[in-house]
Amino acid sequence: MSVARLSIEDDDRESKKAKKEASSMLGFSDEDKIGTIQPHDDALIVTLRIEGYDVKRVLVDQGSAVEVMYPDLYKGMNLKPEDLMVYDSPLVSFEGKIVTPRGQIRLPMQTDSDVVEVDFIVVDAYSPYTAIVAKPWLHALGAISSTLHQKVKYPLEGQVKEIVGN
């Protein structure tokens, strides 16, 4: 009889564990669309804390392979050429033009209490954005993004946190 009781208690523990894991699963629902104007085809633009600065107009692009920093942010953070590491691989802009980077810089990016080191490629090109964050940042954070829902979600300390587009 005690074996059966132990088995039931084990099942209860497994059930509670499964419920806890399910509640912290990353995903989006129709409720996540609340506060957005639907339908839309907007890019996901967020404000992120980079090197201690609240940086606006950051594009979340899950199709890009590198993080990019544009001149306005580079100058605004008082970065200098000597702060850059060499990065000699050309990039292709949204317009299909070849862009030669000025260099690369690693900066801390903070989301809630989580800090991720991000390697930004600094380019001299016009952009309506100050920076682009891409797959490396999303993967380091364990995040998923949705342009439809205008959010980034990521796990932190057993909870699902959100960055809402603006």
One pLDDT digit (tens) per residue for the chain, 166 residues: 444 444 444 455 454 444 444 446 789 888 888 888 888 889 999 999 999 999 999 999 988 899 999 989 999 999 999 999 999 888 887 778 888 899 999 999 998 888 999 999 999 888 899 999 999 999 999 999 999 999 999 999 889 999 999 8
* SS3 state of residue 57: strand
Which residue shows structure tokens 């979600």?
153
Which residue shows structure tokens 């796990």?
155
How far, in Å, CA of 49 to CA of 135, rounded?
18
Q: How many domains does the chain have?
A: 1
Whether 108 and 116 have beta carbons less than 8 Å apart is answered as: yes
Task: Write down the pLDDT at residue 24.
Answer: 61
Task: Write down the pLDDT at residue 7.
Answer: 45
Domain that holds residue 89: 2-164
| CATH label of the domain that carries residue 97 | 2.40.70.10
Single-letter code of the amino acid located at 106 = R
Strand partners, 146: 151
Phi, psi for 96 (deg, rounded to 5)? 90, 5
Of 119, 126, 130, 124, the C-alpha closest to 53 is 130
Task: Report residue 120 as tokens.
Answer: 């930004």
Of 118, 112, 119, 109, the C-alpha closest to 155 is 112
Half-sphere exposure of 120 (CA within 13 A, CB side): 26
State the DSSP string of 63-117: T-SSEEE-HHHHHHTT--GGGPBP----EE-TTS-EE---EEEEEEEEETTEEEE
Label the pairing between strands 103-111 and 45-50: antiparallel
